[in-house]
Amino acid sequence: MLMAIKAVHKMMYENYKTQYGEYPGAGLPAYITHETGVNTDWQDAIQRNGLAQNYMVSLRGGGDKAQYSVSYNHADEKGIFIGNEHRHDIARMKLHATKGIIDLDANMDFKYTNSRQPQYSLKETYMISSLVPIYNENEKYGFGLTNFDGLPNNRNVVADNYYKNEVDKKYHTSANV
């Protein structure tokens, strides 16, 4: 796969050189003539193996006059794109008691949700040049930027995901008797 990507990139640069050669006097941009040695696969940089985990435990018991049920569920999902995560925890309790002619039912549940969506545009992964490194220790914040050799200005999606941290947390509790 890597060899195929390199072959496509080589064809692209040869095509650029040919097209620019059709306009005498127009110099080639520096990013075509300057070999950087970088060949970033931006799609690979933002994709990962997804993982979903789900655990549940419950207890039930009681006798003729009272019954109870308690349960807990935990789910944790990491999507195939960096920055895509979802977690929830749910706890439930149910109680039923009888005393003479009185029946008592009580229910209570608690749910916590924590979700995070990617903070970058997938379009940027297709638009940013493969000549831009993901990380660059010479830059102020350590990420590669498109500020050299006349490259088109696009965003580093790995940097966007690192610095933009938007999390949606929700708590929900309900009870009835």
Read off the pTM. Answer: 0.65
User: Is-contact 167 117, C-beta < 8 A?
Assistant: no
Nearest to 74 by CA among 49, 100, 56: 56
Phi, psi for 21 (deg, rounded to 5): -70, -20
pLDDT one-digit tens code per residue, 18-58: 666 666 556 666 766 777 788 888 889 999 999 999 999 99
Give me the amino acid identity at 104. L
Phi, psi for 66 (deg, rounded to 5): -150, 140
Q: What does the block give as tokens for 131?
A: 């000549």
User: Is-contact 169 116, C-beta < 8 A?
Assistant: no
